[in-house]
Amino acid sequence: MPVGPARMPLMDHLGELRRRLTIIVVALIIAALVVYSATPVLIDFMIDPIREFLPDGSQLQVLTVLGGFTIRFKVAFFFAVIICAPIIIWEIMAFFLPALKPNEQRWVVPTVFALVVLFLLGMVFCYLIIQKAAFGWLLDQTSEFAAVIANAEDFLSVMMMLEIGFGAAFELPLVIFYLSILHIVPYKTFRAQWRFIYVGLLVFCAVVTPDASPVTMLLMFVAVISLYEIALFVARQVVAARDGREALSWTRADYEAHALEKA
């Protein structure tokens, strides 16, 4: 897929953005149409972690005539996003690629791969661990005063939002990694301000989780903090090996000045 030149007029940049968004939308539509016929099987797969919490003989309920079609379309689009994740991430990265320096552009392909892997890892983590814990806590809040109707649209919408939320949250460590190795935020600043960063990540987890469950939020927080620390550890090794240990406190201006000296 071609990458545009670094310098273009504003209208050309907007045209490039429109072209890449068009590619993403077309890919999603094609994937959704292909997946649509398999949605009953996919829905059965989705509810497997929470099947024990479904009332009325483990059967989802559709409450409107158009409900079945709407649900199938949403699920098809959800899986289309998963299938097209490499295309979506590449098109977004390729739009910003011309703004990077030549020595920074070599990180793009590994970054796309890492973003896809982290996104899928977040969704798998949510599917295997979070869904059961979240629905168990949420439905327990209702069990003492009302019966829960297993509204298919409601149940599946919450599940899909959780999956997307965790997939997006698992991308955060890679953002931290690049902010550090590109010296946009010095590594030592991340280390010195860790208390504020931890609080910020806790707020981030509270915002990203769609179910308002403290169980979900805390589980995401533990996962994100673990990935954050791993990202900083790897960033420290990269920066120290590439630029020396003194570079751990460099700003972006220091990094560019050092690059000019080497040139």
Give 212's pLDDT tier (boundaries 50, 70, 90).
Answer: low
Which is nearest to 96 in space by CA: 187, 189, 17?
17
pTM of the shown model: 0.82
Give 156's pLDDT tier (boundaries 50, 70, 90).
Answer: very high
Assess whether 239 and 112 both reside in one domain: no
pLDDT at 241 over 70: yes
Nearest-angstrom CA–CA distance, 97 and 42 = 35
Assess whether 255 and 132 both reside in one domain: no
Of residues 14 and 161, more confidence is placed in 161
Of 169, 195, 212, the residue that ends a domain is 169
Of residues 222 and 2, more confidence is placed in 222
Is the torsion defined by CA of 237, 242, 245, 249 positive or negative?
Answer: negative
- Tell me which residue range forms the domain holding 40: 1-169
Give 56's pLDDT tier (boundaries 50, 70, 90).
Answer: low
Number of domains the chain contains: 2
